[in-house]
Structure 1
Amino acid sequence: MRQVGPLVVRTLTTPAAVPHSCAASLRERTRLQWWIGDGGDPAQLVADFLAEHALPGPTGLLPATPARHGHLDVCGAALFVSAAAGARMIGAPTGPPSPAPAVPDLVAVVYEHHQPRTGPRTPPAPWQLGPWQPSWTPHQHAAAVDTARAAIGRGDIYQVNIVGHSSAPYAGDPLPALTRLGALPGARYAGTLTGAGWAIGCASPETLLETNGRRLITRPIKGTRPATGQGRRELLASAKERAEHIMIVDLERNDLARVARTGSVRVDELYAVRRWCDLWQAESTISADLDDGVDLADLLRAVCPGGSVTGAPKLAALTQIAALEPVGRGVSMGAFGWVGPGHVDLGLTIRTVAVDTDRVHLWAGGGITWGSDPSAEVAEAAAKAAPVRAALAGP
């Protein structure tokens, strides 16, 4: 894969994680890259690194004095945290090795303002995507669901998210294909990030964490049906999906409570149906007031890895995940977004792919409860992966 310059994370919502007025005029100043084998606490490493550049700001996570938008001022930083790095932050099992080991488990890229260059650009090399090859068969996926149901029956866990992986060979420049992911309907966190021999493309609809002044916000997604009238009615009426969703809402309330003022956690919206591509998904909004003395490292430890892609209780679910999934989660089920002066906006990396020197990697899965049907869970994972595969294949 040819080296392509790092691109700024771009979100499609308001307020945008990357200021719209700056998105076209940024360049990389410096970066931090960390792999799970490097040792140390990734939460503290990234917090210390960003603090060197006055991020999230001189007052921690509180609103900072607006950054001057001059020629060399720091605008903010793109931040990526893998699921394995999130597990390391809380002392949980990190799971099997990633199938894309060239991609770091933690990346923070600090951007500064500059005058954009003009002139002709080299056209990208023609893109060709080969056949997808799964890391496990549908039968093995279904067997993992059965094993998870058995763990739930024993009382080891209440719910767990099981994720599968597939990869495909490619030829040409992957960046245009990754950029197409951002055009998928409902891609709230649409962006790309690249390094030497690797790239990440994200089309996530899910907010892992956003700060708005002293207010912390998370929007877990749990529950999926086809985006038809019948599918919407089924999602709204499903006792199984609603129970699964509410378990994750309770887990996310508990996660925010770790860094919130006592009594400030609330559910602002419960089980709202949103559309992502050709799927309906149930989403809730949970918020809380930031407690005094909380820094970025504390915040990352509280929410990573995201509850909607781990399960409940979180540590027990991560133990099950490490035993059940045949390959690591790589760039999926982690965090990806922007850290600006006094502001953090991170999406959860579902609908996210990684590219190394010769393959594209994609993950998809779903939450397992006692009432899960193994064949239906396999089909749901395939339905979530299908729009991403189509976008990567191109017109």
Structure 2
Amino acid sequence: MMGHGPVGVEALPRRVSVPAAPGSCADSLLERDRFEWRLGDPGDPATLIEQFLSTHDLPVTDLARPGDPRRHGDGPCGAALFVSAAAGAVLVDAPPGAPSPAAGVPDVAVIVYGHGPRHHPSAPPGPDGWWRGPWQPSWTAQQHAAAVDAARTAIARGDIYQVNVVGHAAAPYRGDPLPVLARLGGLPGARYGGTLAGAGWAIGCASPETLVELVDGRLVTRPIKGTRPATPAGRAELLASTKERAEHIMIVDLERNDLARVARTGSVRVDDLYAVRRWCDLWQAESTVSASPADGLGLADLLRAVCPGGSVTGAPKLSALRHIAALEPVGRGAAMGALGWVGPGRLDLGLTIRTAAADGDRLHVWAGGGITWGSDPAAEVAEARAKAAPLRTLLR
């Protein structure tokens, strides 16, 4: 990575801004250890994640008993966790898709943090020497539209009910990408705003979507599906759209089924259905589904149940993943995976939509949308551009 060395114990001082990390600890987190895994490495990634965190005395083998969040002492505060969409596909024995265009970004990253002396918050450094070239998409608008048509054909055959189709673009850069990627966390609605980095790679996230959270003894997921411009007319259109509501409810049902695999019998419920939230200049429909974790549920089994996220795959999930692998010309890299925090009494993973990455000398962005039989190819291409536009603007 040009002008940027490894971020770790020796690379001081760099402010930690891990999505979903405890805000009270943000000024004192110091990296203690890390684990990275890539496609082709040996072992099951979910099992390796759980084992690595367990060696650091983090309570991940029984999430129904998540530990005391007040416990600090000499123990770790917690860990940042990233799982790529490709690694998620591996967890459910689905094809991982085309190779990632961001080859330097690992498919799993786990970074354990402890506490050090507090440092005073300061403005992030400016992007001195920063230069970014033009964006080059991995497919044309016509090819994207053709993939939407192919998805509609698969739906007409009965192979799938819906599928998420994602595009990618890359741009050359010079300089340190971390201060620029950190800007994404300030976007309106970025519930999982923050960064994660390693030797030769960095991720910036502005995601509004909860993949899975453990709060007050309940597993919670908040799928987002349905998008319109953030205008009064756009909000009314989203609320009135039969197509968007039907697509959304299919994903809610999928998420209910995913949680039911790891929940106490009869504990799954829909707490909020089709609520309209704002992210930047877009309205999006969000629901809340929750469940009580089964006794003895470990993090590995939870990851196998929820990864990759239903809102960025489709229904049925396994069939959708097979079509995604056939339709998309490049892999999803840092996007459409999981990123967040695991610690005593705290588990909060966001879905890495609205996410960018840097590796080598290129920046990467991904965006897409859910396809149903009623999808219009030109509208789907326009929606993906609208989702990527705020990220591209901040990465100038």
> Which amino acid is 1:292 matched to?
D
Change in CA separation of 1:100 and 1:177 when aligned onto 2, cut-off 3 Å: same
Q: Secondary structure at the match of 2:77?
A: strand
Is 2:46 the partner of 1:8?
A: no
Is 2:114 the partner of 1:112?
A: yes
Partner residue in 1 for 2:178: 175
Partner residue in 1 for 2:293: 290
User: Would you say the 8 A contact 1:56–1:343 is kept in 2?
Assistant: no
Matched residue pairs, number?
Answer: 387
Partner residue in 2 for 1:14: none
CA deviation vs aligned residue, 1:84-106 (integer Å, no higher than 9, x gap): 00000111110010001111000
CA deviation vs aligned residue, 1:295-332 (integer Å, no higher than 9, x gap): 00010000000000000000000000000000000010
Shift in Å, 1:379: 0.3
Paired residue for 1:89, among 88, 91, 113?
A: 91
User: Would you say the 8 A contact 1:189–1:204 is kept in 2?
Assistant: yes
Partner residue in 2 for 1:140: 143
**1: distance between equivalents of 2:121 and 2:97?**
46
**2: distance between equivalents of 1:329 and 1:378?**
17
Is 2:110 the partner of 1:102?
A: no
Paired residue for 1:54, among 41, 57, 68?
A: 57
> Which amino acid is 1:306 matched to?
G
Shift in Å, 1:128: 1.5
**1: distance between equivalents of 2:286 and 2:126?**
40
Change in CA separation of 1:21 and 1:133 when aligned onto 2, cut-off 3 Å: same
**TM-score (norm. length: structure 1):** 0.95
User: Would you say the 8 A contact 1:152–1:370 is kept in 2?
Assistant: yes
Shift in Å, 1:126: 2.0
CA deviation vs aligned residue, 1:169-217 (integer Å, no higher than 9, x gap): 1111111111100000000001101111110000000000000142000
Partner residue in 2 for 1:78: 80
User: Would you say the 8 A contact 2:62–2:295 is kept in 1?
Assistant: no
Paired residue for 1:224, among 212, 224, 227?
A: 227
**2: distance between equivalents of 1:384 and 1:306?**
18
Change in CA separation of 1:180 and 1:345 when aligned onto 2, cut-off 3 Å: same
Change in CA separation of 1:262 and 1:68 when aligned onto 2, cut-off 3 Å: closer
Paired residue for 1:184, among 184, 187, 195?
A: 187
User: Would you say the 8 A contact 1:9–1:338 is kept in 2?
Assistant: no
**TM-score (norm. length: structure 2):** 0.94
> Which amino acid is 1:370 matched to?
W
User: Would you say the 8 A contact 1:9–1:337 is kept in 2?
Assistant: no
Partner residue in 2 for 1:384: 387
Shift in Å, 1:4: 5.1
> Which amino acid is 1:86 matched to?
G
Q: Secondary structure at the match of 1:38?
A: coil
Shift in Å, 1:237: 0.4
**CA RMSD, 1 decimal:** 1.8
Paired residue for 2:33, among 30, 33, 43?
A: 30
CA deviation vs aligned residue, 1:29-69 (integer Å, no higher than 9, x gap): 00000001103211101011001112235754423134433
**2: distance between equivalents of 1:312 and 1:134?**
27
Unpaired runs of at least 5, structure 2:
9-14
Q: What percentage of residue pairs aligned between the two structures are identical? A: 70
Partner residue in 2 for 1:155: 158
